[in-house]
Amino acid sequence: MGKVTDIVGSKTLRDMWDEIARIYKEKTVLIFRDCEGGINEFSYSQLNEEINKTANFFLDLGIKKNEKVAVQLHNCPEFLMCWFGLAKIGAILVALNTQYTQEECDYIIKKCDGVAAAVIEEEFLPLYVTSRNRPNDDHDVKTILLARTAKQVPGTLNFEKGRRAQPKELKNSRPLSSDDVAEILFTSGTTSKPKGVVLTQCNMLYAGTFTAWQLSLRYEDRYLTIMPAFHVDFQLNTVMPILTVGATLISVEKYSARRFWKQVCVYKATMTECIPMLVRTMMLQPQQDWEKDHCVRDVFYYLALPDQEKDAFEKRFNVKLLNSYGLSESLVGVIGDPPCGERKWPSIGKPGLSYEARIIDEDENELPPNNIGEIYIKGIPGRTLMKEYYHDTDATARTLNRDGWMHTGDKGYVDESGWFYFVDRKVNMIKRSGENISSTEIESILMAHPKVAEASVIGIPDPIRDQAVKAFVVFKDGEELTTDEIMEYCKCHMAKFKVPSVIEVVTSLPRTGTGKIQKKLLK
């Protein structure tokens, strides 16, 4: 690649932290509220020092450039220390969902060819017992670091103790590039297993610049979020834009429908973000006199909500939703409401700066206005779009072409004025409480049961969580299980958010003439 002349250029995340720690110094960058109500605050210079200590600890552990480190933590300052500490030494973050089972963790670690270390909380230690018993396996975890505890557990290192012993200045400034990989973010796709979205340092810096523009974010802003730290929305659509402009992040460890809007008011947040589940659970709470006494300028929102629900929410809380559309592979809400001027709900908006979007048919021909087709977006892989899928050249080729156009698989249309509308999700994809769930993955797990012959999984409407998971199960001849037994099996083999809400036992599944299951008939 020749000399880069885009808005990021050769800048790295280490360069960014050197800059913002120097410029914003004692300005508060983070207010963290844990589940017990404890508060931790950091200034830009303080957090940068803690990130440097973390980076130095990783250096002392022998973490090399481009080596991968798994991080499985709830929302906490330590997640940020690991994320940027690894970036400063050119290592790669692998953020793991805090609801993953041991099987899911094992799959991702093996997909990454093993990880040099894993930074986890004590509650996740049982998920890594296999790795601890197989120290010579190249595809396992080499070192386990326990965070958010003072305990010394045999076979692990204490993250806090190791970090605190380090100096505040970075000990080794390895050569870095904006094209270096910063993270492999695993996300459920339409296949049976999660795919690793490869994100570069440039990807993260660009996401910060783009979303700061999209939200009209500025130095005085206070952005409150309950999004999980392992999620792209937290990392690229919240943290990075906040750092870009020198604003303040208010991070809450766990969402509570009863407390959330009170927290928004008490912390004088000027921005927050919502998904359908948050909107619906908030609307179920008793109305309070103080609800409209807030400083919120906009609520960053993802995808559509029925007009009646949207209007009722905006009226009750005296806010405006800023709609957008994106996916992990696109980094940001590439299509969204403009930062100023007209909004056209339920439109997801127009393509943002530097992106293009089209609606295409199955042959990649652009469709005329008001015709439903696939949402097709264009950017630059490795800079304004993901670099690739990790160790999956076939999936990368199916998704990204040489001209930078990316298939989303999602259905939508565009009107005569260039406003885009979202119609339906990817084939085999279920959206539940903001989590993307692959129905194919759940089907594969169900059919691994020795008594199950076939399974088909669909999303059904859920008044709170957007969609619920429903599974249709066909038993092998002469076999049977109760729905409770099937549910228990699911709980043991998949993350909690993937477990079906409804199980229906059937004798057969509807099929097309070519033998494919007709999920439309199941719905």
pLDDT at 191: 45
Distance (Å, whole) CA 351 – CA 358: 9
pLDDT at residue 331 greater than cutoff 60: yes
pLDDT bin (cut points 50, 70, 90) of residue 316 is very high
3-state secondary structure of 433: coil
Asked, colleague to colleague, whether 320-427 and 431-522 share their fold, the answer is no
Distance (Å, whole) CA 272 – CA 178: 29
CATH topology assigned to domain 13-205: Rossmann fold (3.40.50)
Residue 178: closest CA among 5, 356, 354: 5
Residue 82: closest CA among 282, 383, 227, 72: 72
Percent of residues, the chain, with pLDDT higher than 90: 81
Q: Which amino acid is at 116?
A: A
- Region 320-427: CATH code: 2.30.38.10
Question: How many of the other CB atoms lie within 10 Å of CB of 95?
Answer: 25
pLDDT bin (cut points 50, 70, 90) of residue 189 is very low
Please tell me the chain's helix, strand, coil percentages from 3-state DSSP, rounded to the nearest 5: 30, 25, 45
Domain ranges of the chain: 13-205, 320-427, 431-522
Q: Is 320 exposed, middle or buried (0-12, 13-18, 19+ CB in 10 A)?
A: middle
Report pLDDT digits (tens) over 16-27.
Answer: 999 999 999 999
Worst-scoring range by mean pLDDT, 96-105, 160-169, 364-373, 433-442?
A: 433-442
Question: Where does 326-423 have alpha helices with state H?
Answer: 393-399
Q: Are 86 and 220 in contact (CB under 8 A)?
A: no
pLDDT at 131: 52
pLDDT at 1: 47
pLDDT at residue 412 greater than cutoff 70: yes
Region label for 395, one of left (φ > 0), alpha (ψ between -120 and 50) or beta (otherwise)? alpha
- Which residues lie below 8 Å from residue 354, measured CB to CB, with a gap of 6+? 210, 379, 384
Beta bridge partners of 298: 271
pLDDT at residue 307 greater than cutoff 90: no
DSSP state of 368: P
Residue 271: closest CA among 224, 207, 214, 315: 224
Terminus-to-terminus CA distance in the chain, angstroms?
49
pLDDT at residue 497 greater than cutoff 70: yes
Report pLDDT digits (tens) over 265-301.
Answer: 999 999 999 988 889 899 999 999 999 999 999 999 9
> 431-522: which CATH number, 3.30.230.10, 3.10.20.600, 3.30.300.30, 3.30.70.250?
3.30.300.30
pLDDT at residue 333 greater than cutoff 60: yes
pTM: 0.87
